[in-house]
């Protein structure tokens, strides 16, 4: 009888031990699965944040590229409004970068202003777009006035340095005669080629005369 009771106690102890070990193992497995799930979720969140960061950086780079292209292609625009639009669309581009573009391309802005003024566009039409552009680039609006002053000064210097219409005609005629004499004195070319060169020079001279005439008419109109 004692042996039977001892056996029962041993079986019960073994059962309790197995049950304890099973619970410990199950808890360990659950902790491992929870840790793996937490690590996987953390990795997923990190990947999502990295993808969002790369997407945001791509948008910034695209906006900065379009803004730079618009600035570099100013010569093909009648004013500054297109470049100002792209600069406003790049407001999420760091302001330090936009200011660097202004400092780097400021001579281009002055050159474009002078070109448009020479083309007959009034400064009152150009200044609003120029002001929008410089403020969108992150600098003060008065920089547009400084550019206007510098551009108008360059334009005045160009007008003062430009020879009068009569002087231009004399210069063109003298240059034309020198080129004709040089072509006639070519001794190592065939007569047919010499005639072609003479005709080409006559055509060039006529085109220069027409261009000078248009310029002279514009100057008289301005006066």
Q: What is the mean pLDDT of the chain?
A: 82
Residue 113 pLDDT grade (very low, low, confident, very high; cuts 50, 70, 90): very high
The residue behind tokens 């552009």 is 133
Residues contacting 2, CB < 8 A, separation 6+: none
Q: What is the DSSP string of 101-123?
A: HHHHHHHHHHHHHHHHHHTT--H
- The DSSP secondary-structure symbol of 164 reads P
Residue 222 has pLDDT above 50, yes or no: no
Give the tokens for residue 34.
């929870």
Find the mean pLDDT for residues 98-114.
91
Residue 45 has pLDDT above 50, yes or no: yes
Residue 221 has pLDDT above 50, yes or no: no
Looking at residue 213, its pLDDT comes to: 65
Looking at residue 183, its pLDDT comes to: 77
The CA radius of gyration of the chain, in Å to the nearest whole number, is 41
Looking at residue 148, its pLDDT comes to: 94
Domain ranges of the chain: 1-161, 165-222
Give the tokens for residue 210.
């027409």
The fraction of the chain above a pLDDT of 70, given in percent, is 86
Find the mean pLDDT for residues 17-22.
80
Residue 24 has pLDDT above 60, yes or no: yes
Residue 136 has pLDDT above 60, yes or no: yes
Looking at residue 8, its pLDDT comes to: 66
Could you read off the pLDDT of 146-203 as tens digits, one per residue?
A: 999 999 998 887 766 555 666 677 778 888 888 788 778 766 667 776 788 788 888 8
Distances in whole angstroms, Cα of residue 94 to Cα of each of 2, 61, 133, 156: 88, 10, 16, 37
Looking at residue 161, its pLDDT comes to: 58
Dist. CA 25–CA 139, nearest whole Å: 67
């Amino acid at each position: 009888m004692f042996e039977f009771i001892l056996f029962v106690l041993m079986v019960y102890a073994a059962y309790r031990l197995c049950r304890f070990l099973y619970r410990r193992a199950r808890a360990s497995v659950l902790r491992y699965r929870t840790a793996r799930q937490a690590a996987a979720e953390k990795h997923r969140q990190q990947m999502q944040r990295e993808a969002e960061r790369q997407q945001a950086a791509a948008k910034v780079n695209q906006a900065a590229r379009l803004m730079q292209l618009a600035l570099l292609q100013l010569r093909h625009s009648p004013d500054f409004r297109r470049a100002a639009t792209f600069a406003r669309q790049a407001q999420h581009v760091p302001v330090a970068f936009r200011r660097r573009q202004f400092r780097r391309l400021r001579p281009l802005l002055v050159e474009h202003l002078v070109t448009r003024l020479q083309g007959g566009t009034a400064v009152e039409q150009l200044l609003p777009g120029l002001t929008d552009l410089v403020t969108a680039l992150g600098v003060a609006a008065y920089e547009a006035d400084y550019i206007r002053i510098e551009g108008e000064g360059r334009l005045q210097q160009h007008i003062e340095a430009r020879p009068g219409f009569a002087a231009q005609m004399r210069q063109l005629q003298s240059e034309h005669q020198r080129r004709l004499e040089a072509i006639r004195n070519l001794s190592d070319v065939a007569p047919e080629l010499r005639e072609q060169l003479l005709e080409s020079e006559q055509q060039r001279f006529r085109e220069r005369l027409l261009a000078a005439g248009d310029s002279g008419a514009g100057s008289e109109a301005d006066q």
